[in-house]
Structure 1
Amino acid sequence: MSNPRIFPIADDALTIEFGQAIDLGCYEQVRRLEQALLARPFAGFLESIPAYASLSVFYDPEVVARAYPRFPTAQAAVVNYVEGLSHAPWTESVEAHREIEIPVCYDLRCASDLPLVAQRCGLSVAEVIAYHSTPTYRVFMLGFLPGFAYLGLVDERIAVPRHPTPRAQVPAGSVGIAGRQTGVYPTVSPGGWQLIGRTPVPMFDPQANPPARLQPGDEVRFVPITYEAWLDATTQTQ
């Protein structure tokens, strides 16, 4: 692993940063460190939250201080522990990625921004669909809404920015693009991403375990379906 930057974000949390870009190499370092930490947690460890190029670690300061009294503060003890893990030889295999297919209807009735994306990129609608549905995406992290997964990397040829002004309401299941990110809105919500499709698959179920369909590290492919197939599947899931 490269030398990360470690800094506090609260009295009971710190972040280990491997870079400042959406990059698969950085994310693999995040993933390795998280798995090493989960395999060998320190006393007082509570949870870890991965992002594109960083891992945030939360802990109980009182438990840490009691377990590692030679350090002046609990934070110093956690920093020392994390630094040791980040520099230790990696001997464990990285947990296998789940491979998940998500059906997406790219029909214009489900893709309000698709013509604008095509025009902006100098492509046909069919080309935008092909460039979006061909890659296998990695789930980098969850955020914004329960079950909202940030996926990348979107093909540079269709990497369009967010809308300057977000919509007040985006339908659940909408598939959007924001730069080199793509994702699915799990519930009705405001949102500024460019909407190029819609899936009938529920992305969040509070009764399921885990409730979010996608998890960090998953590999995802979007599979085009017809409007009729989307309509039928949507009816069945309601």
Structure 2
Amino acid sequence: MKPRIEVVAIDCLMLRLFDEIAETNMPWMLAASERLRICFAEYLTDLVPSYTTLMVHYDGLALTPAQARERIAQALTDLRPETQNLGQCHVLPVWYDLSVGPELALLAKRTGWSVSEVIRRHSEHQYQVFALGFAPGFAFMGLVEEALAAP
């Protein structure tokens, strides 16, 4: 991991920890988030994680950009990935039916599989949720099998 810091605004820095989305990033992202909360303490106004970055909003009246960068460096010193509290497995009911999922037929045609095979492949995988947002309970799920990936 070779983190980079990018300027977002006068009181906001983007910490880029990874260049590619991977499930193995999550323990590092959790550890870095916790460390940043500690190092910035009351000067942290918001911390916004994504798949590969952490956006650090800080109190620009209390810290200079150089001081914020120092706190980020301090937070990343000897960083180790989180190995506990990595979440839990939830089983979500899914209703696969062409009346509510018209893309099933399109995906089956594109892959050359039957609709039943698309459903089997999609439902047998255990997905990692990277974040919640957009709408209440909306899960930004992890990586899917390439053939099943669709916009």
Q: What TM-score do you get using the length of structure 2 for normalisation?
A: 0.86
Partner of 1:219: none
Structure 1 pair 10–92 and aligned structure 2 pair: CA distance change class (3 A): same
Report the Cα distance in structure 1 between the residues aligned to 2:143 and 2:40, rounded to whole angstroms: 31
With 96-105 and 145-154 compared, the bigger mean Cα shift is at 145-154
Pairwise mapping of residues 88-167 of structure 1 onto structure 2 (< 5 A)?
A: 88-90=78-80, 93-160=83-150, 162=151
1:5 aligns with 2:4: yes
Describe the SS at the equivalent of 1:8.
Answer: strand
Task: Kindly report the root-mean-square deviation, in angstroms, between the aligned alpha carbons of the 2 structures.
Answer: 2.1
Percent identity over the alignment is: 32
1:19 aligns with 2:9: no
- Provide structure 2 residue ranges, at least 5 long, that are not aligned to the other structure: none
Pairwise mapping of residues 1-238 of structure 1 onto structure 2 (< 5 A)?
A: 2-64=1-63, 74-90=64-80, 93-160=83-150, 162=151
* CA deviations over 1:44-102 (Å, ceiling 9, x no partner): 111211101111111111122xxxxxxxxx11111111122213243865423132221
Q: Give the deviation of 1:143 after TM superposition.
A: 4.5
* CA deviations over 1:22-61 (Å, ceiling 9, x no partner): 2122333222201222344444111211101111111111
Contact persistence 1:42–1:81 (CA under 8 A)? no
- Counting matched residue pairs gives 151
2:36 aligned partner, one-letter code: L
Report the Cα distance in structure 2 between the residues aligned to 1:127 and 1:22, rounded to whole angstroms: 27
Describe the SS at the equivalent of 1:132.
Answer: helix
Structure 1 pair 27–118 and aligned structure 2 pair: CA distance change class (3 A): same
Describe the SS at the equivalent of 1:97.
Answer: coil
Q: Give the deviation of 1:107 after TM superposition.
A: 1.3
Describe the SS at the equivalent of 1:62.
Answer: coil
